[in-house]
Amino acid sequence: MGFLPFGFCILFLFFFCSVQAQQAYIGQGTNNCSVTTNSALGYSCNGVNRTCQSYLTFRAQPPFTTVASISTLMGSNPSQLAAINSVPQTATFNTNQLVIVPVTCSCSGQYYQSNTSYVVQPGESFFLIANDTLQGLSTCQAIRNGNSRTTVNIFPGQRLNVPLRCACPTRNQTGQGINYILSYSVTWGDMVSTASSRFDGDTNWTLQANGLTQQSATIFPFTTLLIPLQNPPSSIQTVSPPPPPASPPPPVQPSTPGSSSSKTWVHIIAGVVGGIVATLAIVGIVVYCLRFRRRKVKLEPTGTSSESFEAAEKKSTKNKGEEEPDGFFLERLSSIAHSIQVYTFEEVVAATDNFSPKCLIKGSVYRGKINGDLAAIKKMDGDVTKEINLLNKINHSNLIRLSGVCFNDGNWYLVYEFAANGALSDWIYSSTNGGKALTWPQRIQIAVDVALGLDYLHSFTNPPQVHKDIKAGNVLLDGDFRGKIANLTHARSAEGQDGDFNLTKHIFGTKGYMAPEYLENGLVSTKIDVFAFGVLLLEMITGKEVASLYKEGVDGLSGVVNEVLLSQDGGDNIMGFLDPSMEGNFPLEFAGFVVRLVEGCLKKNPGERPAMNELVQSLSRILTASLSWELSNNISEYRNLRDET
Ligand SMILES: *[C@@H]1O[C@H](CO)[C@@H](O)[C@H](O)[C@H]1NC(C)=O
Ligand SMILES: *[C@@H]1O[C@H](CO)[C@@H](O)[C@H](O)[C@H]1NC(C)=O
Ligand SMILES: *[C@@H]1O[C@H](CO)[C@@H](O)[C@H](O)[C@H]1NC(C)=O
Ligand SMILES: *[C@@H]1O[C@H](CO)[C@@H](O)[C@H](O)[C@H]1NC(C)=O
Ligand SMILES: *[C@@H]1O[C@H](CO)[C@@H](O)[C@H](O)[C@H]1NC(C)=O
Ligand SMILES: *[C@@H]1O[C@H](CO)[C@@H](O)[C@H](O)[C@H]1NC(C)=O
């Protein structure tokens, strides 16, 4: 049914192509080299001038990392390329650094192009040249078209003319003050809005220039997006992509519209200035120090002196002596866990009102007050030294912190930091959340938090750890709805004989969240967490438990997600797929993007799933964009109103 209006739209766009500012976005037209759409051959010659200065973006990739090699590849002038990127002509770029490539764009037949020539390397096809080497700045169709039509097979050493995709401003665009068109090579995680604003372009003009609309603004990696610019791009804009928002901003004050505005600015500034892992590391250290200090400060009003830490330390030494039978455990413990406090059983009993039912949170987890601080106290049996050992080594605000332990009569009592808003599972399933609903930005923030915590486990612990039981029940929310991963009982090292993979015979996990290779073959890798994270993300945006998402006649979860993605109904399907309790208050463009992230996480082949750090990056960008969106839509006001009623 949606087909007629859709077809009409296409006709409409097509008609206006020749008249208006628009060029058709190539979309997935790069994928099948035997199908040639018009837009695959190039952007049509509809500008004011038949020749103009234009710009491309290229991400430095070996062997194309120097000014000289990139200029040669792109047919650009090396001194101009060096100048616009503010580097000497002898410079080498870091891998993945964004490089601005100035080129002259001119009409050849009915399409704009910038010519370069390329010598085919062994094993390369038209597609590999266009997609992998040229990062979508050309297409297999255009390269084939630009060379003799008899060229069916290409051979190594053959020199090809390669038309790069560029365009000149149309009359409508020059009327709006546009002087240049940048052909931006889209990569994972880009959105129209983030790509445009990076170059000080206007999202609406970019949408218009590519024949996209706000409702259907899906863009794909390794395609070109035209970004109309008033001024030439500059090297400042090529700084690495924004980092994940400053790891865990220790949030305290309830956010007022004012403070959330300044928060957004912090994100934006952080995005512009920072961006490198080093920055993250520094932020991590600073936050760690701040947290540590905060804790110390918080202890003071409880009556203990400001030396409470030392006092506590002394006390724990004393306890060790008292609890003679368990001395061995505790000694082992104190050797591995310096920062973890050891409590007496009496303290735990007092904290939980003798394990009174009114303190029970769930299962064997109790709420308690220890040293004036709320804590979650979990009773466990068996050997928990592994978990304690792990929790002691890691320190990340998106992983629930273990603050103390107690051993009594064969049982362990682990004392964790308290998460005021409980488990994520209580908030996201429409059937159980009792009318409470998280907003879109809150959901994305929590997703970023979980991704950061997992990335930390996967990439910053040695050896890398796999959580193995990521699910909504194991994500806790603090007073500010920041997510913290809990329950590392089943976490284990990802390292096996082959480095990346590890086999296990003991399958443990939660149904629906387990990756196929783990269920079938017991293959343990960080990618099983990525799979589970995808399921969690899916639940978070749909408000449904994974079990209820499966559909008859559709192949698994990824089939369900693909069905939503592939339907061409201008977003209605995605709208209907998402949690109705958000009442449509989310930008459709971002929602579609998140659904695509989910699709990547659910890939059958673990090697095709993204790494956690890529997810952190993508989700952080959506978060930044969502917060700006929220601000401009005054959704926060709406939220406050709703909370009051
Ligand atoms: C030029 O672009 C504007 C949008 O900024 C559009 O409303 C207008 O119809 C276009 N004019 C022409 C002559 O294409
Ligand atoms: C590409 O398109 C052709 C013609 O429509 C089709 O026969 C072929 O299966 C397609 N290939 C892929 C990989 O989709
Ligand atoms: C078009 O060409 C004219 C004359 O060369 C030049 O002044 C003008 O800046 C060009 N416009 C664009 C958008 O390149
Ligand atoms: C680019 O190459 C095409 C042939 O592929 C040729 O017709 C055109 O004149 C060339 N353009 C420039 C500016 O050299
Ligand atoms: C296109 O190239 C990129 C970068 O090398 C690669 O990651 C991606 O898998 C390629 N796409 C396809 C469809 O092969
Ligand atoms: C972009 O277009 C949308 C819808 O047409 C409009 O609401 C928004 O204000 C525009 N943004 C800018 C910066 O012009």
Q: Please name the residues in contact with 516: beta carbons below 8 A apart, sequence gap of 6 or more.
A: 531, 604
3-state secondary structure 595-614: HHHHHHHCCCCHHHCCCHHH
> What's the CA-to-centroid distance between 31 and ligand 2, angstroms?
9
Ligand nearest to the CA of 49: 3
Residues with Cβ within 6 A of ligand 4? 106, 108, 115, 146, 161
Task: Please give the average per-residue pLDDT across 139-156, as a whole number.
Answer: 76
Matching fold, domains 275-302+314-417 and 425-640: no
Check pocket membership of 204 for ligand 6, CB cut-off 6 A: yes
Ligand 6 atom with the shortest distance to the CA of 632: 9
Q: What is the pLDDT of residue 284?
A: 42
Check pocket membership of 32 for ligand 2, CB cut-off 6 A: yes
Highest average pLDDT, of 89-98, 389-398, 562-571, comes from 89-98
- Mean model confidence pLDDT for the chain: 77
pLDDT band at 518 (very low <50, low <70, confident <90, very high): confident
Q: What is the pLDDT of residue 10?
A: 38
- Cα dihedral sign, 305-308-311-315: positive
User: CA 401 to CA 462: how far, in whole Å?
Assistant: 18
pLDDT band at 309 (very low <50, low <70, confident <90, very high): very low
Q: What is the pLDDT of residue 313?
A: 34
Ligand 4 atom with the shortest distance to the CA of 146: 5
> What's the CA-to-centroid distance between 186 and ligand 3, angstroms?
27
pLDDT band at 532 (very low <50, low <70, confident <90, very high): very high
**Per mean pLDDT, which range of 180-184, 235-239, 528-532 is the poorest?**
235-239
pLDDT tens digits, one per residue of 72-112: 999 999 999 999 999 998 899 999 999 999 999 999 988 99
Task: Please give the average per-residue pLDDT across 528-548, as a whole number.
Answer: 93
For ligand 1, atom 10: residue with the closest CA: 172
User: CA 206 to CA 223: how far, in whole Å?
Assistant: 14
Ligand 6 atom with the shortest distance to the CA of 214: 4
Task: Please give the average per-residue pLDDT across 401-415, as a whole number.
Answer: 87
Range 425-640: architecture per CATH: Orthogonal Bundle (1.10)
Q: What is the pLDDT of residue 304?
A: 29
For ligand 4, atom 9: residue with the closest CA: 108
pLDDT tens digits, one per residue of 372-388: 889 999 988 777 777 88
Task: Please give the average per-residue pLDDT across 121-149, as a whole number.
Answer: 87
Ligand 4 atom with the shortest distance to the CA of 51: 13
Burial class (CB within 10 angstroms; exposed 0-12, middle 13-18, buried 19+) of 54: buried
pLDDT tens digits, one per residue of 188-200: 888 999 999 899 9
- Cα dihedral sign, 593-597-603-606: positive
Check pocket membership of 633 for ligand 6, CB cut-off 6 A: no
> What's the CA-to-centroid distance between 197 and ligand 6, angstroms?
14
Q: What CATH topology corresponds to 275-302+314-417?
A: Phosphorylase Kinase; domain 1 (3.30.200)
> What's the CA-to-centroid distance between 178 and ligand 3, angstroms?
11
Map out the domains of the chain as residue ranges.
17-236, 275-302+314-417, 425-640
> What's the CA-to-centroid distance between 59 and ligand 5, angstroms?
13
Angle between the 385-393 and 327-336 helix axes, to the nearest 10 degrees? 20
Catalytic residues, by residue number, are 469
Ligand nearest to the CA of 35: 2
